[in-house]
Structure 1
Amino acid sequence: MTHKIVSLEPHHLDDVWRIEQAAHAFPWSESLIRKEPGKFAVNLVLQAGDQVVGYCFGQNIVGEATLLNIAVDPAFQGKGYGKVLLEGFIDCLAQGNAEEIWLEVRASNTRAFQLYEALGFNEINRREDYYPTATGREDALIMTYMFM
C-alpha cells in the first residue's frame, strides 16, 4: 500500500481525533486537536492509500522545533508507520530551516524512545513525575535532534 505525508487539513480531524483516543491512555482534549493551527505549526498526517493512519503536531519557531504529539492508529502499529511519519516530520523541518527538534516521551514508552534514538534523537534531561498514569505519575524523558 502506498503512503504519503501531507499537511493536516480540517477534513482529517475526525480521523485524528479517533486515533488520538485509541492510541493514548491520556489523550489530548478534542478542543486541542481541533484548534486552529498557529502560524508556526507543522502538523502532518500519514495516509496509507486514502486512510489516515497517523499524525503529528509540531511547531517550528525561529529554528527551534518541537514535536508536541505523534500517534499511529493502533490497528497499524508495528508496521513501520511511526518511523515513516517521524522521518517525514524531520524532513519537513529540515526544509523549514529548523536547527533542532525537542520532544518529551514517557519513560515507560520504550518503543517510542528506541525509535527516537534510532533516528538520531538524544536524551538530554528528565522531568520527574511529569505525566499522569493510572497509579500516579511518571517521568518524561527530554530528547533533542540536532540538524547538521
Structure 2
Amino acid sequence: MAQVMELERLGHSHPWSEGIFRDCFKDGYRLWALEQDHRVLGFAVINYLFDEAHLLNICVHPQLRGQGAGRQLLQHALAESVKDGMVCMILEVRDSNRAAIELYAGEGFREIGRRRGYYPDGPGREDARVMALRFT
C-alpha cells in the first residue's frame, strides 16, 4: 500500500487517502498494478455497477508518462471489463488534463457530458469531462 500511496501523491494534485483506497477492496471493485522489479509503477481502480465499469483512478509514475504505461493499464482494464461482461466503461477526467483526454479518445472514448466543479483545484473547482466507451 505504501508504494501505491506514494505514486498517488506523485501523480495527483489532490490524492486519494489511504482510507479511500482501502474502501476499494470490496466486491464490485477491480484493482490492477503495473509492476517492475517489485516496484509499483502504475495502477488502475475500476468499480463495476450492474453492467458498467467506472474507471475511478488511473495513475502512472510521472517518469513513465508518455511512454505507453497508462495505455497499457487502460487496455488491460478494458479487456478485463469486457471479459467480465461489462457493456461499457465510463470515466471522469479533468478538463485541463489534455494528455489523459487524448489517451482516452485514442482508445475510442467519447465525451458524453460534463460535471461542473467536479474536481478540487486550489481554492476553486475544475470541471470534469465525462467520457464513455461502449463495448457492444
Work out whether the TM-score is over 0.5.
yes
Residues 87-118 of structure 1: per-residue CA shift (max 9 Å, x gap)? 00001101100001110000000100000000
Cα drift, residue 135 of structure 1: 4.4
Q: Is structure 2 residue 40 aligned with structure 1 residue 56?
A: no
Q: Distance in 2 between matches of 1:111 and 1:131?
A: 17
Q: Which residue of 2 aligns with 1:120?
A: 108
Q: Is structure 2 residue 86 aligned with structure 1 residue 80?
A: no
Q: Which residue of 2 aligns with 1:94?
A: 82
Q: Distance in 1 between matches of 2:107 and 2:118?
A: 24
Q: Distance in 2 between matches of 1:24 and 1:100?
A: 25
Q: Which residue of 2 aligns with 1:42?
A: 30
Give the stretch that moved more between structures: 86-95 or 68-77: 68-77
What 5-or-longer segments of structure 2 have no aligned partner?
A: none
Q: Distance in 1 between matches of 2:77 and 2:52?
A: 14
Cα drift, residue 123 of structure 1: 0.2
Matches within 5 A, 1:121-136: 121-136=109-124
Cα drift, residue 63 of structure 1: 1.2
TM-score for the superposition, normalised by structure 1: 0.87
Q: How many residues end up aligned between the 2 structures?
A: 136
Q: Which residue of 2 aligns with 1:24?
A: 12
Percent of aligned pairs sharing the same letter: 36
After TM superposition, the runs of 4+ consecutive aligned structure 1 residues lying more than 3 A away are none
One-letter amino acid matched to 1:92 = E
Cα drift, residue 50 of structure 1: 3.0
Q: CA RMSD in A?
A: 1.2
